[in-house]
Amino acid sequence: MPTFYLDGEAIPYREGQTVLEAAMLAGKHIPHLCWHPDLEPHSSCRLCVVRINGRPFSACTQPAMPDQEVEHASAELQAMRKSLVQMLFVEGNHYCPGCEKSGACRLQATAYELGMQDSHFAHRFPVRARDFSHPEVYLDRDRCIRCELCVRASRMLDGKNVFAITGRGLDWTLAVNAPSGLLADSAIAADDMAVKLCPTAALMPKRVGFVQPVGERTYDKEPPSVIEVREYRARMGVEEAVGAEAGDE
């Protein structure tokens, strides 16, 4: 198999794989929020940016190529990722201590793993429309990070096309495909992948908050770097446990 080099280590890949896919299959975690293996890559969160032969690329969209030199764990790139996550926190309203998804939130867990200890930037405290009209699902736009996982999942996996991002710049919003614009009049259901893949508490099933006590939730036990690599390798048929190399990064 051809290989490229990730921080000096040879990574084998198959034709058509991206840098991120090949790295994950090899047990190496590249931070990301908007990527999912069942969906087309989107490159909106920018956390997976790496340097390839000295130039920045999104690892989720960049095809793996022979002998390319990929840098992803440098202090500069990690500091950039931490700043991006800090901006996501202040651009929305993310109050982890009182959030029902604390411990199961990928945004929160990614921030912890990147060493984020404060928001650094001034909070914007936006006031965006919330939607509690549906009997099973609620939408809190203040916690949306525009990853568009729900948009793509609803279209590609659920076959419903419930969501879309509309507007530009600071005037963006997550729109609901219904005459009234409300979840109650849409085709959304609590078991839709669009709900399950939301990395924050922007989309949540009702009546499930705080079901698991603190200390027993997904990311209370292991960080994203371990969980995501293990799950991806299992999906691709690699059964052995992913070692500490993912969690050590």
Query: CB of 231 within 8 A of CB of 29?
Result: no
Q: Does any domain span residue 184? A: yes
Residue 63: pLDDT over 80: yes
Q: Does any domain span residue 132? A: yes
Q: Does any domain span residue 163? A: yes
Q: Residue 231 and residue 242: Cα distance in Å, rounded?
A: 9
| 235 and 197 within one domain | no
| 225 and 156 within one domain | no
**CATH number reported for the structural domain that contains residue 65 in this entry:** 3.10.20.740
* Domain region containing 169: 127-211
Tens digits of residue pLDDT in 173-202? 999 999 999 999 999 999 999 999 999 999
Give me the percent of the chain exceeding a pLDDT of 70.
Answer: 96
| 159 and 226 within one domain | no
Tens digits of residue pLDDT in 157-178? 999 999 999 998 878 899 999 9
| Weakest-pLDDT range from 78-87, 122-131, 163-172, 234-243 | 234-243
Q: What is the mean pLDDT of residues 142-157?
A: 96
Q: Does any domain span residue 216? A: no
Give me the percent of the chain exceeding a pLDDT of 90.
Answer: 82
For the full predicted model, state whether its pTM sits above 0.75: yes
Say how many residues make up the chain: 249
Task: State the pLDDT at residue 239.
Answer: 63
Q: Which helix (H) or strand (E) holds 138?
A: strand 137-140
Which residues are CB-neighbours of 89 under 8 A, at least 6 positions away?
107, 111, 116, 119, 123
Q: Does any domain span residue 228? A: yes
Q: Does any domain span residue 65? A: yes
Q: Residue 37 and residue 18: Cα distance in Å, rounded?
A: 11
Task: State the pLDDT at residue 214.
Answer: 81
Q: Does any domain span residue 121? A: no
Q: Does any domain span residue 104? A: no
Q: Which helix (H) or strand (E) holds 232?
A: helix 224-235
Task: State the pLDDT at residue 95.
Answer: 87
Q: What is the mean pLDDT of residues 40-58?
A: 95
Beta-strand pair 69-71/3-6: parallel
> Mean pLDDT score of the chain, rounded to an integer?
92
**CATH number reported for the structural domain that contains residue 169 in this entry:** 3.30.70.20
Number of domains in the chain: 2
Band the pLDDT of 245: cuts 50, 70, 90: very low
| 185 and 138 within one domain | yes
Cα angle: 125, vertex 126, 130; to 5 degrees:
125
Band the pLDDT of 249: cuts 50, 70, 90: very low
Tens digits of residue pLDDT in 106-141? 999 999 999 999 999 999 898 899 999 999 999 999
Q: Residue 28 and residue 78: Cα distance in Å, rounded?
A: 15
| Weakest-pLDDT range from 7-11, 36-40, 164-168, 240-244 | 240-244
Q: What is the mean pLDDT of residues 66-90?
A: 96
